[in-house]
Amino acid sequence: MRDKFLINNKNIFLFFLLYLSLVVGFYFGEDLNYGAIKDWIGTNYPVMQALSIDIKKTLLNYESFGHRHSPVYLIFLSLFSKIGFSFDAIRFLHLNISLLLVYFFYKCLVLKFSNIDKNLLIILSLSIFLSPTFRSLAIWPDSRIIGLTFFVISIYEFLKFQKSLNVIYLWKNLIYLIIASYISPNFSLFVIYFLFYYLRKTNLKTLALALIACFILSIPAFYYIFVLDINFLTAGTPGIDDTQGVGLNFNFSNKILIISSIILFQLTPFLINRKFIIDFFKLSKKNIILVTIFFTFNLIFFDYVMNFTGGGIFFQFSNYLINNNFIFYFFSFLSLMLLAYFVQNNINNFLIFLLIVFSNIQNTIYHKYYDPLIMILFFTILDSSLSKEFFKKKINFIYLYLFYFVFILLRVVKNNFFTNY
């Protein structure tokens, strides 16, 4: 009991230490993503103020702000602006709301790994505090982190359904997913994953009702975007070349190679595992040949350039170090091999990775879209024994925290010395 009490005290200390680091970052205006400040001051805050003054006029002229984020969360924040909350008070309110992401990730872990020491689950969930994206978007209000929070709540309800098959959790899962989608539309595609699962676990009547409910609840979004013709999803321009609009881009070769490389990077601390290395090198010749053909095909159509901005850490590193994509291509190939490892004989994992790729239909591809999303998916709905293997050695937690410290260091170096990248 004494050891357990000491461990709990350490976790409490770790929480307050990490929370304090976030507050200090708030005070000094930390922006590891190098863009969160610009997004908040340049677009989010002015839109929020306009919504607090005249919500109808602002919504009907939303495209004029050049803002490609959903207005839903900004409407919520505008209520506090309307009653007198200051610039920094709204920021601090948002920072504390963002902590719900850490809490519900922990709740998901408890459901998924009921036999694992909860103190270890706490340490894992608290690692989100070190995510550069979480820190930046918690300090400088952004709807993406709140959309991710509701998405994680929807996963929590989904995991409860998996355990009980109680249909009430199906409805809760879909409701929270719809809320997540209204706040951050990229999560809307994951309804395909959940409905595909429910197709095998429920009757056709329940599934039909779920489809009808999803359609009805999506009507306001379709009306706003397609009938009123306020398509904010394609607004704005990337940072360097104004001739390249953010817009929609259906060159999925760009998305496949870049997003897969980002997935590899984000999963790195969980791949330091002897069992994984052995299994990885046991991939069949057939799979290796298929990956090689698939990689070559995407290589032919790949045309992402630095002027688009973003591209992920391997893409940027390759272009800075040798001024071409060769290093990036190497890691992209490894990334596709990794995905082949996860999806072999597993339709669920294939669907997850497919939806991750298709959820980004704009021209620019930023690393921040997938941090800490990939880790959350890895420990919640991705089918892999690696997630359980992670808890077997406490040194794995050290690897995870070191990974995030290195990630933060790389962000600091990039933001201070290589801002053009």
My answer on whether 367 and 226 are in the same domain is: no
Is 20 within the bounds of a domain?
Answer: yes
Nearest to 130 by CA among 11, 32, 26, 37: 32
My answer on whether 49 and 135 are in the same domain is: yes
Half-sphere exposure of 8 (CA within 13 A, CB side): 6
Nearest to 113 by CA among 349, 345, 389, 347: 389
Contact 314, 421 (CB under 8 A): no
Q: How far apart are CA 247 and CA 175, in angstroms?
A: 29
Question: What are 73-112's pLDDT values in tens digits?
Answer: 999 999 999 999 999 999 999 999 999 999 999 999 999 9
Is 338 within the bounds of a domain?
Answer: yes
- Separation of first and last alpha carbons in the chain: 52
My answer on whether 231 and 258 are in the same domain is: no
Contact 225, 342 (CB under 8 A): no
Boundary-marking domain end, from 211, 236, 261: 236
Task: Pick out the chain residues at pLDDT < 50.
Answer: 1-6, 237-245, 421
Contact 309, 364 (CB under 8 A): yes
My answer on whether 215 and 278 are in the same domain is: no
Q: How far apart are CA 408 and CA 33, in angstroms?
A: 10
pLDDT at residue 244, rounded to an integer? 47
My answer on whether 190 and 305 are in the same domain is: no
My answer on whether 226 and 270 are in the same domain is: no
The 10 Å CB-count burial string (b at 16+, else e) for 175-209 is bbbbbbbbbbbbbbbbbebbbebbeeebeeeebee
pLDDT at residue 383, rounded to an integer? 94
pLDDT at residue 66, rounded to an integer? 78
My answer on whether 117 and 192 are in the same domain is: yes
Contact 45, 69 (CB under 8 A): no
Residue numbers of the domain that contains 205: 2-236
Is 73 within the bounds of a domain?
Answer: yes
Is 228 within the bounds of a domain?
Answer: yes
My answer on whether 207 and 258 are in the same domain is: no
In the chain, the largest separation of any two C-alpha atoms, in whole Å, equals 65
Count of domains forming the chain? 2
Residues 6+ apart with CB under 8 A from 191: 174, 177, 181, 214
My answer on whether 212 and 267 are in the same domain is: no
Is 45 within the bounds of a domain?
Answer: yes
pLDDT at residue 421, rounded to an integer? 46
Give backbone dihedrals phi and psi of 361, rounded to 5 degrees, phi first.
Answer: -110, 5
Q: How far apart are CA 106 and CA 101, in angstroms?
A: 9
Is 400 within the bounds of a domain?
Answer: no
My answer on whether 81 and 210 are in the same domain is: yes
My answer on whether 71 and 192 are in the same domain is: yes
Nearest to 30 by CA among 133, 136, 137: 136
Boundary-marking domain end, from 208, 236, 264: 236
pLDDT at residue 4, rounded to an integer? 46
Contact 196, 351 (CB under 8 A): yes
Is 364 within the bounds of a domain?
Answer: yes
Q: What is the 3-state secondary structure (H, E, C) of the chain?
A: CHHHHHHHHHHHHHHHHHHHHHHHHHHHCCCCCCCHHHHHHHHHHHHHHHHHHCHHHHHHCHHHHCCCCCCHHHHHHHHHHHCCCCHHHHHHHHHHHHHHHHHHHHHHHHHHCCCCCHHHHHHHHHHHHHCHHHHHHHHCCCHHHHHHHHHHHHHHHHHHHHHHCCHHHHHHHHHHHHHHHHHCHHHHHHHHHHHHHHHHHCCHHHHHHHHHHHHHHHHHHHHHHHHCCCCHHHCCCCCCCCCCCCCECCCHHHHHHHHHHHHHHHHHHHCCCHHHHHHHCCCCHHHHHHHHHHHHHHHHHCCCCHHHCECHHHHHHHHHHHCCCHHHHHHHHHHHHHHHHHHCCCHHHHHHHHHHHHCCCECCECHHHHCCHHHHHHHHCCCCCHHHHHCCCCHHHHHHHHHHHHHHHHHHHHHHHCCCC
My answer on whether 62 and 180 are in the same domain is: yes
pTM of the model: 0.93
Is 395 within the bounds of a domain?
Answer: no
Can you read off the two tokens belonging to residue 408? Answer: 């933060």
Give backbone dihedrals phi and psi of 339, rounded to 5 degrees, phi first.
Answer: -65, -35
